[in-house]
Every structure is written in C-alpha cells, then in structure tokens.
C-alpha cells in the first residue's frame, strides 16, 4: 500500500484524534474510582495521574498501522494489537479480548479466532468504535473510504456486523468533525442542530441496531439533556456498539463545541465511561483542534510512551 502524497497531514490529524481519545479515555476511567459523585456534581478534576486503558492502547496500534501502511492492513493491525496486549495486559481489556489477543500472540490467525467468540457470532462490542477516531481523521476527505477502513479495523476483533457498524459510525463522525471545522460556513453548528449531524453519520452507517439507535437520537430536541439521551439510547453499560455509539454521536453533536463540556457531559451519563469519553474525546478534538484541548488535561493523562 503506497502512502498518499499528503500522508504527513493525514497522520497529524490521526494523532490529534489520538490525543483527544486518550485524554478522554483516561479522564473517564477516573470516574470508576470510589466517591466520584462529588467530583461530577462540582466538576472537580480527578487526582492525577489519569491512567489510560485498552481503548488508548488499541488506538496507538491503529495510528502505528496508518503511519506505516497509509490504511488498515488487518494482518499488521492484529499483530500490533496482540503485541501491545502482551506488553501490558492489565489495561482493562474485556474477557473476549484477553482470549483472542492472547491467541493471536501465540500465532493463531486472527480471522477464525475472532469469528469463533460468542458461539460463532463474533463480538458486537464497542471496542471497534472506541479506537477508530484516528481512522476517520486520516480519511476525513473521503468519508466512504473512512467507513470502509473503519470496518476493516473493527473486523480484526469484531466479526459481528454491529461491532463493525459502530466503528463505521464513529469514523464518519470523526471525518465530519474535521471537515466542518475547516469550512468557512458550516452546514450545521454544534449544539444548534444536533440532529443534522446525527443524520449525516446515519447515512453511512450500515442498517441494524446501531443505526436504529442513531435514528432514535433524531427524536431528541436540540436542548435535550445527557440524562434524557442516555435513557433513550443507552450509556454503554451493555458494552455493545448499539448501546454506546448512538449516545456518543449525539453527545458530540450536542456538546462538541467545547472539549471540556463534551467530556463532563459524557462522563455524567456513567455507564462505560472510559469508552464513551474516549469516543467523544477523539471526535471532538478534530473539531476544536489541539488548541481546544486543555493543556492541564493532557498533562494529567499519563504519557503515551
């Protein structure tokens, strides 16, 4: 796979998404600690350091593969995932991930291993979505390609169509966030017309439960609360793409004009809060730019290495 002529610009965008994703991941992870209720009510930042999880570990592998190949080489990505897992398996990986990443590390082909989980159905979890914002960033100028490459990136660990649909939706959201940031007169404004953004994401999301969740999000008013959205769409508690992705896309559209506001709102929905914050952080970073990420938050996150 030949690198595109503008590879340096593309990978810079992917790294911006990674920065937002990793800060969101580490921020959200802090709210699994005991006695965090007062932090949420008063919006007091957690004690440092903020430790990142498997969400960031896998996103690091995605950026690595994009940088080398200019796209998603699934074999290379599987090996990168497995290598990082074996280097540090205590990053909060789910039970399924522990199994198939260890198998891949032992030399098993990734395809049969990932297809065999969940009684042969494959995983429909939110793991493909949690790490995919850099893919949407890299292919922001071609949303069809972004969707295709996002699906390939998810397939390595999520054989179920819903696991891949979640990745497609978030990659498209990331690409749109970047594109609208660059336009002089955006077709929509964050927080003014969230349904318009959700509808654009929905256009390229494959039919199924994840897309159905996005369609339900269209019913939410432009000033709906995160609590109302979580009640309608889910908050990731089931750790599935359909239960996670619609809320994250809506949260980006509703609160994405501010990185801090988007993350505080997202974490207040509770649920799978490191993953929802990783997803929202990776997408919103592309809209607000590096200058829109609070330096104190990036400094609180442990180094990426």
Query: How much is the pTM?
Result: 0.96
pLDDT of residue 201: 97
In contact, 132 and 151? CB cutoff 8 Å = no
Residue of higher predicted confidence among 77 and 115: 77
Residue (of 234, 84, 260, 210) closest to 156 by Cα position: 84
Q: Is the pLDDT score of 182 beyond 90?
A: no
pLDDT of residue 2: 85
Q: H/E element holding 40?
A: helix 37-42
pLDDT of residue 68: 98
- What would the two tokens of residue 209 be? 């439960």
Average pLDDT of the residues in 75-101:
95
How far is the CA of 218 from the CAs of 98, 202, 205, 213, in angstroms? 36, 10, 14, 9
**Residue 136 pLDDT grade (very low, low, confident, very high; cuts 50, 70, 90):** very high
pLDDT of residue 53: 98
- What would the two tokens of residue 124 be? 């429909």
pLDDT of residue 121: 82
The CATH number given to 7-300 is: 1.10.4080.10
Residue of higher predicted confidence among 17 and 186: 17
DSSP alpha helices (H): ranges in 90-237?
A: 95-105, 110-116, 127-130, 133-138, 143-155, 161-182, 194-203, 209-217, 226-233
**Region for 47 from its dihedrals, namely left if φ exceeds 0, alpha if ψ lies in -120 to 50, beta otherwise:** beta
In contact, 21 and 282? CB cutoff 8 Å = yes
């Amino acid at each position: 796979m030949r690198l595109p002529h503008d590879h340096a610009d593309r990978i810079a965008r992917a790294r911006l998404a990674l920065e937002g994703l990793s800060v969101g991941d580490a921020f959200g992870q802090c709210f699994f600690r005991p006695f965090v209720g007062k932090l949420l009510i008063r919006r007091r930042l957690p004690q440092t350091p903020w430790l990142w999880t498997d969400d960031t570990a896998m996103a690091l592998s995605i950026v690595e593969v994009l940088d080398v190949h200019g796209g998603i080489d699934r074999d290379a990505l599987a090996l990168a995932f497995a290598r990082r897992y074996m280097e540090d398996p205590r990053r909060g990986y789910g039970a399924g991930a522990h199994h198939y990443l260890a198998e891949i590390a032992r030399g098993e082909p990734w395809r049969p291993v990932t297809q065999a989980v969940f009684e042969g159905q494959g995983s429909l979890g939110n793991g493909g979505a949690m790490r995919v914002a850099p893919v949407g960033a890299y292919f922001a100028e071609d949303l069809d390609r972004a969707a295709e490459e996002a699906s390939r990136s998810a397939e390595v660990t999520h054989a179920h169509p819903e696991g891949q649909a979640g990745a497609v939706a978030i990659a498209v959201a990331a690409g749109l966030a970047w594109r609208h940031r660059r336009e002089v007169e955006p077709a929509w404004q964050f927080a003014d017309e969230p349904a318009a953004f959700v509808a654009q994401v929905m256009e390229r999301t494959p039919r199924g439960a994840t897309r159905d969740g996005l369609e339900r999000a269209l019913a939410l008013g432009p000033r709906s609360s995160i609590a109302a959205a979580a009640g309608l769409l889910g908050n990731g508690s089931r750790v599935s793409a359909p239960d996670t992705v619609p809320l994250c896309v809506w949260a980006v559209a509703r609160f994405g004009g501010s990185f801090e506001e988007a993350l505080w709102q997202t974490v207040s929905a509770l649920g799978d809060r490191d993953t929802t914050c990783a997803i929202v952080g990776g997408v919103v970073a592309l809209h607000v730019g590096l200058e829109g990420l609070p330096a104190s938050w990036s400094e609180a996150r442990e180094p990426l290495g």
